[in-house]
Amino acid sequence: MGVYCEITLLPNPEVNSHFLWSKVYQQIHLGLVEMQDDQKQVPIGISFPEYKFGDKFSLLGEKCRLFAKDEATLTQFNAAKWLARLSDYVHCTSIRPVPDKITGYATYQRVQPKTNKERLARRYAKRHQLDFETALNGTVNLTGNAQPSAAYKAQFRYCDMLPKPIPSPFIRLKSLSSEQTFCLWIKKTRAAQPSGTSFNSYGLSATTTIPEF
């Protein structure tokens, strides 16, 4: 990653940062979707320089950075265009070279709950040719040769499953395909060496690193 631009949420007593992140990131995602290649990968990655992770709370902070290999890529993306309608709420810098002195590298990746009841119900509906509401609210019977242990119920409903908390901070977004609202959980992992060259349409990757400074 050779260049970056930085986006900062401006203080506003009428709009909280969670709501603003939803609006800002939705626009960034729309722009990145237009830059996808045939493998649905993009050449622009995102970091959160104020990211904090702790036992009691985690947060993204008020800034994000968009990184690319060269200035032409970020110019093509044109962050100011995608954030134009939010110009009263955010500040976007010009494109700058990544400084020579950095503090390290990190990956920012999407994490998803394995026990998300809506996602499990959609998978069940697809496998059994059911509609989503029936799969979510109907009774599911465990099948197979192995008997379920005493810790598990032989019958259950996905709608009764309790959510399993994810400690990572998240941004609430709307799916471009289904129009459903979902949480984009973002996990940061420090890395010893730079690696990778591409990201998904959220600017995230489990393997491609971002320079930290």
Q: Which tens digit of pLDDT belongs to each residue from 59-104?
A: 999 999 999 999 999 999 999 999 999 999 999 999 999 999 999 9
User: Which domains does the chain show, CATH number per domain?
Assistant: 3-112+167-212 (3.30.70.2540), 117-160 (no CATH)
Out of 6-10, 140-144, 154-158, 182-186, pick the least confident.
Answer: 140-144
Residue 144 is given by DSSP the state S
Burial class of residue 98 (count of CB atoms within 10 Å of its CB; 0-12, 13-18, 19+): middle
pTM of the full predicted structure?
Answer: 0.78
Q: Can you say whether the dihedral through the CA atoms of 74, 75, 76, 78 is positive or negative?
A: positive
Residue 180: pLDDT band with limits 50, 70, 90: confident
Q: Are 25 and 197 a contacting pair, CB within 8 Å? A: no
